[in-house]
Amino acid sequence: MGRLAWVLNPRVRKRTLSNLQIAFPDLSQAALRGLAHEAYDFMGRVMYEFIWSGRVPKDELVAKIDFEPRGLAAFERAYKAGNGIVFITGHLGNWEILSHALVLQGFKLNAYAAVLANDFADRRVEKLRTRFGARFHAPRMVTSPDLLRALKRGEVAGFVADQNAGSRGLFVPYLGQLASTHKGPASYAAISGSPVFFGVCLARPDGSFRVELIDLGPGPKKDPDSILSFTARWVSLLEKYIRKYPEQYFWMHHRWKSRPGPDSIVSSGVSTELEPYD
């Protein structure tokens, strides 16, 4: 499926190569093209696994998922405290299997999902995503009450937050350029006071998955500077993961489409001491 998409959509293929050039300016054109092929192949795998997750026996899926133990222990402690968890991820690894993994581990997960234009496709995707009990809501505003209520109930509010956020997003350093980034995760954390975790579901060559969860520490305060610096911090961690596993990232979307203007909120750059697990 991935290679077919490479052939059939030259516009997205060109964008993918351009994005890779931004992130890896020192790579040759041949190396960039090779990495693009790997990324397309991997997205084909992601689509297949998402469909497969709708019919695979529950026990078989659980057997294919391993959690990094230190991160899982920290996540369990935070969840049992009852204050909810703001959970952030990106389009790295298999983000759809990640939601299943959290629910199958016993965590109540709530997240946003855009409504698809095709009603049949939207119903089918929703059925796959909610098979094991995850709840998905249509996004309405920066701090919609749906996920705030979930946090108040002590549940997980999840965000796949690495897509272009438009002219009103926060511009933070990301893979070599400023990128407009959604402030929703940081805003929810500031309002709720809930702890914040970052996580990914990495695919292994044998068809299994490794879920890594990282405690981001205290969330931001409610002031704009704190929201901005916290956003830059989790984006810095995502970047480290992408550079470690570039073939598992979704390079096809128009991540750097929006550019900062005179009224944009721009970060000077905040890195994180946190690192991907070995």
Strand order in the sheet with 177-181: 177-181, 170-174, 265-266
Q: What mean pLDDT, rounded, does the chain reach?
A: 93
What value does the mean pLDDT take over residues 112-116?
81
The bridge status of strand 135-137 relative to strand 196-203 is unpaired
CA nearest neighbour of 132 among 61, 238, 34: 61
Q: pLDDT, tens digit, for every residue of 216-265?
A: 988 999 999 999 999 999 999 999 999 999 999 999 999 999 999 999 99
Report d(CA 181, CA 66) in Å as an integer: 30
Q: Which two three-digit tokens encode residue 93?
A: 């690894």
Domain ranges of the chain: 59-266
Report d(CA 263, CA 168) in Å as an integer: 9
What is the reported pLDDT for 3? 65
C-alpha angle 251-65-174 in degrees, rounded to nearest 5: 25
What is the reported pLDDT for 113? 82
Neighbours of 95 (CB within 10 A): 20
Is residue 250 within 8 A of residue 161, CB to CB? The reply is no
Whether the full predicted model's pTM is greater than 0.85, yes or no, is yes
Pairwise pLDDT comparison (77 vs 144), residue with the higher score: 77
Report d(CA 220, CA 196) in Å as an integer: 9
Neighbours of 143 (CB within 10 A): 15
Question: For residue 4, which amino acid is it?
Answer: L
Q: pLDDT, tens digit, for every residue of 84-100?
A: 999 999 999 999 999 99
Q: pLDDT, tens digit, for every residue of 124-154?
A: 999 999 999 999 987 655 556 889 999 999 9
Is residue 111 within 8 A of residue 157, CB to CB? The reply is yes
* Residue 202, SS3 per DSSP: strand
Is residue 138 within 8 A of residue 113, CB to CB? The reply is yes
Neighbours of 50 (CB within 10 A): 17
Q: pLDDT, tens digit, for every residue of 3-34?
A: 666 656 788 999 999 999 999 999 999 999 99
Report d(CA 4, CA 32) in Å as an integer: 18
Look at residue 53 and tell me whether its pLDDT is greater than 70: yes
